[in-house]
Structure 1
Amino acid sequence: MSPRKQPKDPLYNRIRVLRAERDMSRAQLAELIGVNPQTVGALERGDHSPSLDLAFRICEVFGLPVEAVFSREEFAPMSKELYTR
């Protein structure tokens, strides 16, 4: 994404990690949420921010609340979260 088009407040997500945990391809997730696989890739890279509706559809697929999938702050690695408790 060009610097000119960068959002003021980036939206981080765990879509790639969640897909990998479930052995799910971009195409499979795209089909479940009603978008094309390129859109899933753009979401994962942070090149595209989802609409509220799309964010909810993504969270529904993974069975997680929005704040577990999306954040305004960068996520720490999941292993760090699990093993620092």
Structure 2
Amino acid sequence: MFMQICVAFIQNRKKILYFATDTIAILTGLKPALDAFKFGSGAEKEEHQIGEPLMEMTFCKACEMVFEAIQASIVQTYALLLAKEK
């Protein structure tokens, strides 16, 4: 979540209201839906944003996959090491 908030801050650092909206969406777990809506509705890059909605969605998805996958991999490796063969 922290990395997604960082991406939202970089994307919307000039407009605090857009950043606050994205932060609330991230904390409630609705950011993927918000990004999909922005991209699906054909929203254009606004003047205060660095990149297109597709770029923002891609970065947020990448952060989500990388930082969630690391934790899941650690838990699965730990469980595998503790598992006894029968």
What TM-score do you get using the length of structure 1 for normalisation?
0.36
Choose 1 or 2 for highest CA Rg: 2
What TM-score do you get using the length of structure 2 for normalisation?
0.36
Which structure's residues are more often helix, by fraction?
2
Give the structure, 1 or 2, with the largest relative contact order (CA under 8 Å, sep 6 or more). Answer: 1
Which structure's residues are more often strand, by fraction?
1
